[in-house]
Structure 1
Amino acid sequence: MVDLIFVVLIAVATFIIGGLCGYFVFLKVLKGKYNTMVDSANKEAEVIKEKKLLEVKEKFLNKKSELEKEVQQRNQHIQQSENRLKQREISLNQRQEELGRRKNDLDNQQQRIDNEKKALALKQDELGKMQQKEREKLEELSGLSAEEAKNRLVEAMKDEARTDAAAYVNEIMDEAKLNANAQAKKIVIQTIQRVATETAIENSVSVFHIDNDDVKGRVIGREGRNIRALEAACGVEIVVDDTPEAIVISGFDPVRREVCRLALHQLVSDGRIHPARIEEVVAKVKKQLDNEIIETGKRTAIDLGIHGLHPELVRIIGKMKYRSSYGQNLLQHARETANLCAVMASELGLNPKKAKRAGLLHDIGKVPDEESEMPHALYGAKIAEKYKEKPDICNAIGAHHDEMEMQTLLAPIVQVCDAISGARPGARREIVEAYIKRLNDLEAIAMSYPGVTKTYAIQAGRELRVIVGADKMDDAETEALSGEIATKIQNEMTYPGQVKITVIRETRSVAYAK
């Protein structure tokens, strides 16, 4: 028991001693690790501190270099500004010196001018006295006063000016001909516009040819009932006289005359001629002719490339086929005018389709369904407006005879193309009396000028030859004369196309051998 207690005590003492030894060993090891960790942490802190110091130094140096560069740049700008100011100061000083020199020069020049003015005034006084003396001597020698001599000189200068002006005009005309293409758009309307002939010739009769005169009796009928029925149905007058193999149909409406002619043709061909048959044939022919008129209008519009016309306007265009104006077929005239308008509008940079439309419709007032007291141009504009044509088209129709104010460039184009179509050679007929009167007027205008001995209107009045006396005017005066005659004809006469004026001056020397 004692041994056991002793052993336990020894064990407990040993355990305590071992625990204390272990504790001291643990403290020693822990302290060594702590010191090691502290040393390591201090070293790392030193390293970090050195890095941070280096970074701070580097940033400081960078900032310092940037500031130094900025200061250097500012110094450079300041230096440049100072240099510019110095240059400006130098330039201003130079300008001031230059202004000073110029002022001195101007003062000197003004002084010289004042001196020259004084000298000039003295010389002018002397010259006036000398001119007065010379004038008195010239008056004494010539026997003319100064005013008379002045008038003679003025007249001589006028003649010389006229000659020079005529030569200058001819030179300009030659140059204009050479440059005609370049100037065509500017002068085309003014150079080709001419009013057509003065006298209207309308076809008011149609002739129906028959094989023999026996047909005339059948057309007249018993007691004239057939011819009366035909006249009443067609609204025309039928003349059956001694004219061989012909029946004359008279009436101002060409459509009615055509209906009567076609009805007569069917009646004579069929052989059955009596009032009931006449009314039946006339009604049938009217229907056929109405259809043909509409087809003619449609075909005309298609040929010209014009679309969107009102059906009534198409019918009116077709009626133009049976109407003449100044002896010229109205539909042919309208087609020709439409094509001319399209060409001219293209040359002037305008819309050719619109111009062609206005040209085709410009004379629709000549074929009205109802008679009107209005001029055909204004009535045509009213019809076009009624059937929803555009305002510029209506204005061109109404203004082509100057009965309405022109509002667009389309109006003068239609006007001049209408004149061109009607005035071209062969387009319209003239009465012989009017033709002869126009030739006489041409010759009379030329004969009214002094120095003209003979005049001849040739080529149907399109050329006027003027013969002048060789002893009464020189070559330069003949050029002026041709221009004056041309101007007078333009202002005083109405004529188709143009008239060429040729002035002839010749010298003849005659001798006889005996």
Structure 2
Amino acid sequence: MTGAELGVVLALLLTCLVALLLVQTARREAAAVRARAADDVADLRADSRRRDEESRARVDEVRALEKDLVARRARLEAAEARHQDQVLSAAGAARLASEELAGRQAEVERELESAAGLSREDALARLTDVLRTQATRQAEATVRTAEASARRTADQTARRIVAAAVQRLSVPTSSAVAVTLVPLPSDDLRGRIIGREGRNIRTFEAVTGVNLLVDDDSSTVQLSSFDPERREVAHATLQMLFDDGRIHPQRIESAYALALAGSDDRAVAAGHDAAERAGVLRLPHDLVVVVGALRLRTSYGQDVLEHSVEAALVAAALAAELGADVEVARRAAFLHDIGKARSLTAGGTHAAAGADLLRDAGESAEVVNAVAAHHGEVAAETVEAVLVQAADASSAARPGARRDELERYVERMERLEGLAAAHHGVVRALALASGHELRVVVEPAAVPDADLPGLAREIARDIEAALSFPGEISITVVRELRAHATAG
């Protein structure tokens, strides 16, 4: 045998050996698989037996429950039948008792009718009348008691509410004055204000219509006039002169013209400031301007704008105490005197004029009614309108809030100026020195120089005939003719 043949034989033997080993391995794995399968089958059979036992137990339990339910249903049906029998028996007994009671009642009524000599209807009518009379008397007594109690406590409750509202406020006095104090920035301006031989003071008073008082030992300058508008314009003029430092007649006139032109801006600023202090929001610009004009109005010596702010705060506090609409009360009280800023020459009251103005501005019906009704000229339709009346009266009635003497003084000054202004050719009349001096400016083209003395005497006679006054009134008629030209 050659080596090649030997190798082939060995290879065949090796292959057979490997095949034998594979067969043995496969047999062992098959045996293991059969063993596991047998175990699984055993487990499945055991699980199946357990489930069968549980199912039988549940079936037994369900059957027991069914038997129990059947027994309970039988007991309930028996109890319901017994209850129905009892109800029927009770209903029959009640019906019999009711019939017996009705019979007895009819018998009693017949006996009463025969004893009283009245039919059932007549007796019922008499009894009803008696009961009605007693009830009416008792109700009247109760009402009288309630009214008496309300009268006893109404004033006390009202005072408590008003006191609580006013105590929350801390507002400055709303009383107006006729003098404005202007701080003097430096002592060297004192001489400039006076001017050579008092020329600047005379020019300032002639232009503004306001008395200018300068003391040698005072750090302030006084502006005195019964007219708040003149006093404000004079204040603005004087402040411009202080800021500029140049003070002479021409500069005084130009500063006065600028101050007069700035009246609307001052009105807007005053209106916004007052609305902010009163807590009134979203006020239209047109109303802000009109409200700002109230700073130049007085009523019995009381500053109308400050009075409006004070009334708004009082009305808001009262509304908060009573649970009313705080914002409506505040807004209506703030605007209640806005009609005083409008000219009333066409007739009507300031309440009606203010209501018309607010209606045109788109204010709510509640606010318009409160303004129209604050003096009782129309009926108050809301609680807030009544609160505006109370707030207005509270602000006006505070001690020191109003001064009748100042109001009469202003009326006397206005009448004095009106008597002079009624003459032909008069363009301006200014009452100075508390009414002891009247300065009258005439139109040069209408009144010649020769007529000035006669005009002064006519004005004096009219004043003597129309007014009674202590002391004397000095009347000065001024006719000034200016000519301007430009060279170059």
- The bucket for the TM-score relative to the shorter chain is 0.3 to 0.5
- Structure with larger RCO (C-alpha < 8 A, sep 6+): 1
Structure with larger Rg: 1
TM-score by length of 2: 0.47
TM-score by length of 1: 0.45
